[in-house]
């Protein structure tokens, strides 16, 4: 069942310069253009095509597929996307508009049109900088020259047969407002249907950016015949806030990228902007909404992460690995009683299907409710007094270890919590290893009856030879199912933690786990193995 946050409402008819529903906001995704401008994020044609298909599944209104003049590859990618994705009309008549950016010159625009014209709804997009610093130092053009170029290039785009034309004033946030009203007024007259107002360098504060949009709306001649678009960069971490503020003041096209990738600190993030509108649009944003099917967000995010090679920080809003996890006890208790206590969005709304239990991570700040819940999920029904015993053991381990796994919990419950006497206990251990000769281990174990047993063995390494020596003594068939070694602390003297899982034979046999810790990895490994063996022997 769709929750309130994932309801997809009707998409209004597509008319380039007019949106019949005043609260509908178009989403232009520029992952394949501005996103690819992130250092190191270049994608292949095939990856771009696949991403574009996924963007169409999301229901993106406009896909900016690339910069056709940048290279033959870019041209090909835009053309392929225009031909395929730009002609895939779904049962509701939806097909994404396909666009590609071009500088304000005839060659760029004509090349872009060659790539785009194959789409059912092609849009030519051109831009020129309007801020004093860009005009003087980068373009080396006067205001009049920039104005003339913009007007002529929009007319040129129109002369190619394109009726959907987007014009952008690069660095608008640092441009003279009077000049913006003038240039936007002129390009509307020349045939522009959408106007981009970029904060190219990410310098604007939300109130400034909102006012800029409001002022352009109030002062640009003919603005009622065009759609205003935001394009915000994240240099001060304000891209999403600025974009939402732009929408509040009248922008009806928001330009975003998946995972917020893009030039320098990136662009406004697709998932943040779309989910902010989805979550709060009706409550406090006057009903603003999009046509995005939010359930495809996570899949798209993972695809872009893989293709761009730009890895997400775990705490990235909405799509980071921790975005729907809870580690502290008070939050976990709340979540177990009612998800709404700490979750403003259901993970399912972005396509993450999870049970409440899966969102709970055990660590040093967790409490008894979460511990008991996880133990019950693992099949342990403990009395209150037993939970109490395990709890403080659990806290002690968690102090040293960042995350407590199910293996750790099993070991705690079956071993430490009940303080049972170990059947086999390590006396001494001696290993030799290196590049000369075999690894050998001599192990001294004490049995529960106090008797001492010594054995030695060779092996492929010190841990293997020690495990084999233990097997000689214990004489129980034990198959190593899993062995993991990690460092709890940093540096050369780090404390190592070892977790092992063993079973008596094939997959039909139950698995027993044990953990060990210490600065010597071989001793820690032997402790873990013995602890698992003791758990197994107690069971049989
Ligand atoms: C804010 C943004 O994101 S803008 C988009 C940025 N994206 C990219 O630049 C990616 C693709 N770019 C490229 O592949 C290359 O820059 C190309 C193929 C477009 C151009 O390469 P080159 O011809 O070698 O030019 P180069 O990149 O060195 O310099 C840019 C030129 O374009 C001019 N220029 C910059 N913006 C514009 C514009 N909007 N309209 C017209 N000319 C422009 C610059 O003034 C400079 O001209 P100059 O060489 O006469 O001084
Ligand atoms: C090309 C333009 C719209 C741009 O990316 C910017 O100004 O940031
Ligand atoms: Mg940009």
How many Cβ atoms from other residues are within 10 Å of residue 341's Cβ?
A: 13
- pLDDT for the residue numbered 381: 83
Of 508 and 239, the structure prediction assigns the larger pLDDT to 239
| Mean pLDDT for the stretch of residues 6-33 | 91
The residue whose CA has the least distance to atom 45 of ligand 1 is: 139
Q: Which two tokens stand for residue 216?
A: 């352009």
Binning pLDDT at 50, 70 and 90, where does residue 9 land? Answer: low
Quote the strand ranges of 107-226, DSSP E: 122-129, 165-170, 194-199
- Say yes or no: CB of residue 98 within 6 Å of ligand 2: no
- pLDDT for the residue numbered 1: 39
Whether the predicted pLDDT of 410 surpasses 80: no
The residue whose CA has the least distance to atom 5 of ligand 2 is: 34
Of 500 and 19, the structure prediction assigns the larger pLDDT to 19
- pLDDT for the residue numbered 350: 96
Whether the predicted pLDDT of 418 surpasses 80: no
- Say yes or no: CB of residue 35 within 6 Å of ligand 2: no
Of 232 and 513, the structure prediction assigns the larger pLDDT to 232
Contact 267, 231 (CB under 8 A): yes
Whether the predicted pLDDT of 414 surpasses 70: no
CA of 199 to the centre of ligand 2 (A): 8
Q: What's the Rg (C-alpha) of the chain? A: 31
Coil, strand or helix at 84:
helix
Contact 466, 443 (CB under 8 A): yes
CA of 299 to the centre of ligand 2 (A): 26
- Say yes or no: CB of residue 196 within 6 Å of ligand 2: yes
How many Cβ atoms from other residues are within 10 Å of residue 35's Cβ?
A: 28
- Say yes or no: CB of residue 220 within 6 Å of ligand 2: no
- Ligand 2 atom closest to the CA of 171, numbered from 1: 7
- Mutate which of 33, 103, 126, 142 for ligand 1 pocket (most atoms within 8 A of beta carbon): 103
Mean pLDDT of the chain: 92
Specify which residues 28 forms β-bridges with. Answer: 62, 255
Alpha helices in 259-351 (DSSP H): 270-284, 297-308, 329-337
Look at 297-306, 341-350, 354-363, 482-491 and tell me which has the smallest mean pLDDT.
Answer: 482-491
Give the Å distances, CA to CA, from 414 to 137, 344, 375, 421, 498. Answer: 72, 38, 12, 11, 17
Cα gap 116→165, rounded to integer Å: 12
| Closest to 274 (Cα-Cα) out of 302, 296, 250 | 296
Look at 306-310, 395-399, 429-433 and tell me which has the smallest mean pLDDT.
Answer: 395-399
The number of residues making up the chain comes to: 540
The residue whose CA has the least distance to atom 1 of ligand 1 is: 200
Tokens 């915000």, residue located? 232
CA of 121 to the centre of ligand 1 (A): 26
Give the Å distances, CA to CA, from 195 to 213, 231, 516. Answer: 11, 10, 63
The residue whose CA has the least distance to atom 13 of ligand 1 is: 70
Q: Which domains does the chain have, with CATH numbers?
A: 26-308 (3.20.20.70), 329-416 (no CATH), 425-539 (3.30.160.270)
pLDDT in tens, 335-358: 999 999 999 999 999 999 888 778
pLDDT in tens, 441-484: 999 999 999 999 999 999 999 999 999 999 999 998 888 989 98
CA of 34 to the centre of ligand 3 (A): 5
Give the Å distances, CA to CA, from 71 to 45, 75, 116, 437. Answer: 12, 6, 15, 58
Whether the predicted pLDDT of 332 surpasses 70: yes
Q: Which two tokens stand for residue 533?
A: 């063996």
- pLDDT for the residue numbered 489: 53
Cα gap 503→478, rounded to integer Å: 6
What is the enclosing helix (H) or strand (E) of 228? strand 227-232
Using a CB cutoff of 5 Å, list residues around ligand 3, an ion. 34
Q: Which two tokens stand for residue 50?
A: 């696949």
Q: Which two tokens stand for residue 369?
A: 């409710």
| Mean pLDDT for the stretch of residues 97-124 | 98
| Mean pLDDT for the stretch of residues 221-235 | 98
């Amino acid at each position: 069942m769709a929750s309130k946050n994932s309801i997809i409402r009707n998409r209004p008819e597509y008319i380039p310069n007019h949106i019949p529903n005043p609260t509908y906001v178009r989403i232009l995704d520029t992952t394949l253009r501005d996103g690819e401008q992130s250092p190191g994020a270049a994608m292949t044609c095939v990856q771009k095509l696949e991403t574009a298909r996924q963007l169409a599944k999301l229901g993106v209104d406009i896909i900016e597929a690339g910069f056709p003049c940048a290279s033959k590859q870019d041209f090909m990618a835009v053309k392929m996307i225009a031909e395929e994705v730009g002609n895939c009309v779904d049962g509701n008549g939806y097909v994404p508009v396909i666009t590609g950016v071009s500088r304000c010159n005839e060659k760029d625009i004509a090349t872009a049109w060659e790539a785009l014209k194959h789409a059912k709804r092609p849009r030519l997009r051109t831009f020129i900088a309007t801020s004093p610093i860009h005009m003087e130092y980068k373009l080396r053009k006067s205001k009049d020259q920039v104005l003339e170029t913009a007007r002529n290039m929009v007319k040129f785009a129109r002369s190619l047969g394109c009726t959907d034309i987007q014009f952008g004033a690069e660095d608008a946030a640092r441009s003279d407002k009077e000049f913006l009203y003038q240039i936007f007024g002129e390009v509307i007259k020349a045939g522009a249907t959408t106007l981009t107002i970029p904060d190219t360098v990410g310098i604007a504060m939300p109130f400034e950016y909102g006012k800029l949009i409001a002022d352009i709306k109030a002062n640009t001649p003919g603005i009622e015949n065009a759609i205003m678009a935001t394009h915000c960069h994240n240099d001060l971490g304000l891209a999403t806030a600025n974009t939402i503020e732009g929408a509040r003041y009248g922008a009806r096209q928001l330009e975003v990228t998946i995972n917020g990738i893009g030039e320098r600190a990136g662009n406004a993030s697709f998932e943040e902007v779309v989910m902010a509108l989805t979550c709060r649009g009706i409550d406090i944003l006057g009903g603003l909404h999009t046509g995005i099917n939010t359930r495809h967000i996570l899949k798209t995010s993972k695809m872009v992460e893989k293709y761009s090679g730009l890895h997400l920080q775990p705490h990235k809003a909405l799509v980071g690995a921790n975005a729907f996890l809870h580690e502290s006890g008070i939050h976990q208790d709340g979540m177990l009683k009612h998800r709404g206590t700490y979750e403003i969005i259901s993970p399912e709304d972005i396509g993450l299907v999870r049970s409440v239990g899966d969102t709970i991570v055990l660590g040093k700040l967790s409490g008894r409710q979460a511990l008991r819940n996880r133990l019950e999920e693992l099949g342990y029904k403990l009395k209150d007094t037993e939970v109490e015993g395990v709890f403080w053991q659990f806290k002690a381990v968690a102090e040293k270890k960042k995350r407590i796994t199910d293996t750790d919990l099993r070991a705690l419950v079956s071993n430490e919590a009940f303080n049972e006497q170990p059947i086999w206990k390590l006396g001494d251990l001696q290993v030799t290893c290196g590049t000369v000769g075999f690894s050998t281990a001599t192990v001294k174990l004490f049995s529960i009856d106090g008797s001492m047993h010594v054995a030695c063995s060779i092996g492929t390494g010190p841990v293997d030879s020690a495990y084999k020596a233990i097997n000689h003594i214990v004489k129980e068939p034990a198959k190593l199912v899993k062995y993991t070694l990690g460092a709890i602390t940093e540096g050369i003297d780090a404390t190592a933690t070892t977790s092992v899982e063993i079973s008596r034979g094939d997959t039909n046999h139950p698995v027993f786990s044990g953990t060990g810790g210490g600065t010597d990895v071989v001793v820690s490994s032997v402790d873990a193995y013995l602890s698992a063996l003791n758990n197994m022997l107690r069971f049989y």
